[in-house]
Amino acid sequence: MRYRVTTQRNGLSVITLAVGAAATAGSAVIAYFYAESVAVLSVLLIALMGLTLTLILDQRVKLSEIERSLTTANADASVAAEIARLSKIDDAFSGKYAELKSEMADLARGTYQIRTLTGLYQDDIRSIGRLRSGETLLSTCPVTPTSEVEAVRQITSPAYRESMRAHTEALNRGVKVTRIYLIRDMALFLHAPIIQHLTELKAAQMDVRVILRDQVILDGQFDFLVFGTSKVSVGVAEPGAGTVSGAIVYTDETAIRRYIAEYEKLRVMSTEPSVLLSLHREQEFQK
């Protein structure tokens, strides 16, 4: 961007100089052949003075830009030098500096990382709040398979409830909200607090669906949210824990299309809670 602005200013300066030279030559010719045309000559001289002032101001602006660039470069060099000095005391400084530069490069590419579960919920809520009527929210929720107690703790935590409030408010604004729950098995699905939660969401007219993980082979990512066509947030799990601890957010069109396609695969494998309940009752009756 800075190069483009500088190029444009250089082009303006050349044009201004050319016009000024032409005006000067014209003034000289008129002064020689039409010395009596004082009015015409005066107008040309005034125009020439205006063009000269424009060129001077343009050069001052360019000098100001160069001064700012040098100041920024000197500040960057000073920061780098100070970090290099501190790195001799503790190499964590150089590591952190490299990490920050990498994050800046990621931001320029339209992606960023969220490193905590709290931060993930906050970013989801903020992103959902930006969606408007007619847009789509594609949401997944892998329910922790550890135990019924942990599953209930997940869906009753303050951060989770705030997230669900954001989902409901988006629905009330006219956003098309679909939420797919990935649940360990039928026993966990039938646990009263889980059923009650899903029933409440259905009552709010949310498109709620369920995948029983012991009945479906999942391939690829299944913990992510797609916010309209603007971005996607993909959960990052702690190694060996299976629980989400953060996310990576992408805004490029290719990534968004990919995760919309992934979501459609999950939708095909999912079932409405009422259908699952009917199947369960039928199986119990047959016993």
pLDDT tens digits, residue range 222-277? 899 999 999 999 998 766 555 688 999 999 999 999 999 999 999 999 999 999 98
Residue 278 domain boundaries:
111-286
pLDDT in tens, 193-219: 999 999 999 999 999 999 999 998 887
Q: Please name the residues in contact with 212: beta carbons below 8 A apart, sequence gap of 6 or more.
A: 183, 184, 185, 186, 189, 276
In a domain, 99, yes or no: no
Report the domain count for the chain.
Answer: 2
Strands (E), 196-252: 207-212, 224-227, 231-237, 244-250
Report the pLDDT averaged over residues 24-43: 56
In a domain? residue 11: yes
Average confidence score pLDDT of the chain: 81
For 51-83, write each residue's pLDDT tens digit.
Answer: 666 666 666 666 666 667 656 656 667 777 777
CATH number at residue 267: 3.30.870.10
Q: Is residue 235 domain-shared with residue 123, that is, in the same domain?
A: yes
For residue 282, being part of any structural domain is answered with yes
Torsion of CA 12, 15, 21, 26, to 10 degrees: -120
Between 9 and 145, residue with greater pLDDT: 145
* 134, 200: one domain: yes
Other CB atoms within 10 Å distance of the CB of residue 151? 21
Please give the Cα distance from 80 to 100 (Å, whole number). Answer: 12
